[in-house]
Chain A
Amino acid sequence: MTTTFSLEAEVARLIVEALHLETAPEEIDPEAPLFGEGLGLDSIDALEIALAVSKRYGFQLRSDDERNHRIFASLRALAAHIEKNRTG
């Protein structure tokens, strides 16, 4: 669990840096939606996050299935997806 929590913090920093958000990384609620309500990101941000994730963690995000909604459902879900797929 410790790994997940520290990865969550790392991904929060990655999002804030990649998107130049006003929010501090530790202020992102790990359970809140990243898009729409919650952090309020949009499709431009989704591409930026995908690019940052591919550079940092060495794998590509895809939109081939229902999972995409789940992956971006929250910071926690995104971090878990990265944990499972990372190569770097």
Chain B
Amino acid sequence: MTSERPLTKDMKADGEALTLKEYERAGGYQGIRKALRMGPKDITDQVTKSSLRGRGGAGFPTGSKWSFVPLGKDAPHPKYLIANADEMEPGTFKDRLLMEGNPHQLLEGMMVASRAIEADVAFVFLRGEYVLSAQRLQRAIAEAYAAGYLGEKIFGSEVGLELHLHLSAGRYMCGEETGLLNALEGKRANPRTKPPYPQISGLFGKPTIVQNVETLANLPHIINNGVEWFKKLSYSADGGSKLYGASGKVKRPGLWELPMGTTIGELLHEHAGGMRDGVEFRGLLPGGASTDFLTEEHLDVKMDFTEVQKVGSRMGTGTMIILDDQTCPVGMVWNLEDFFAQESCGWCTPCWSGLRWAERILWAFEQGHGSEADLEKLEWICKFCAPGNTFCALAPGAVEPLQSALKYFRDDFLRHVREKQCPWR
């Protein structure tokens, strides 16, 4: 098995961004040249066959997402392509690397996706705190315009593409696809009713695709090297490599590009170096704050969209947060629910009311005021916030770590009740 790292192999050891010249010397901007000769349907077809799934967390098949965008001369214009660079899922730090290390790769990915849906205008929706990403993207965009790779008649073709950087002003809700669209229109980032889906009526009511940074960065490589090559990068049915990460009390927290389907145990023990001396492993959130806990029994599970789902969690963003035995699991879940309650946009009741309620109960446990009856209330809130009961995916995601903590760390909750305090204090 080859372990190719298409997304990160060209990045510099000193962490500086590749310039346009350096990117091209490494083979960059060949994918878009090829895509311009292919035509939209062929690009989408190739991406569909590659089995690329969205790297923002939901894992929706990318080609299939594009297939709903109206094409041809009767389609409404302008159409929009948006890079979701609002990396704000707690515990997630992968898109930062892609933007800081190789901004042109993202731009080329956006160009390829724009061709597939015949988009006229593209935006990078970047969180405001990513200052270095913003500087490097801004420079890369200027270089691309100066080279004739953006603007009118890109690469000497008959098609044009405008590309802008939008710096956001905060709020986790902006990462939600339709919340992002509202934010980009200068409104509060409340989610929108679906249907209509953004592919039909998105930004300013026009057909729009919103795609995660890592997903887009894969596209030039798929076009360049083909479907079979891309599938072979992976150990599993979901194609490609994946940026995996680990944070918490491991020996070597970090980020690694590895074959999709690398096991959780390999990530934890080989790449993150196992637990620090003096602390034991208790569990982990596989891909950000809004994924269910997994434990020791799951270390052989392959990290991909399908396999992690089979054991009751989600791969999410693929950046794991590790819980150790010196950290209170109830306190950790309190921290997560406090985050989600704060970031709820307030649009629907289960979310704004339920999440703050859960946070208050968890805080009571931490103060030694929790009871067994409170555990039932927490379970009820998890059901109350389940998919189908809320307007968007924020609350269902928010209760994933809570419902799984109640399952795996029930004894720790009960210890708080018995000892009338947090045993970790």
Q: Do A and B come from one complex?
A: no
Binding site for B on A (CB under 8 A): none
Binding site for A on B (CB under 8 A): none
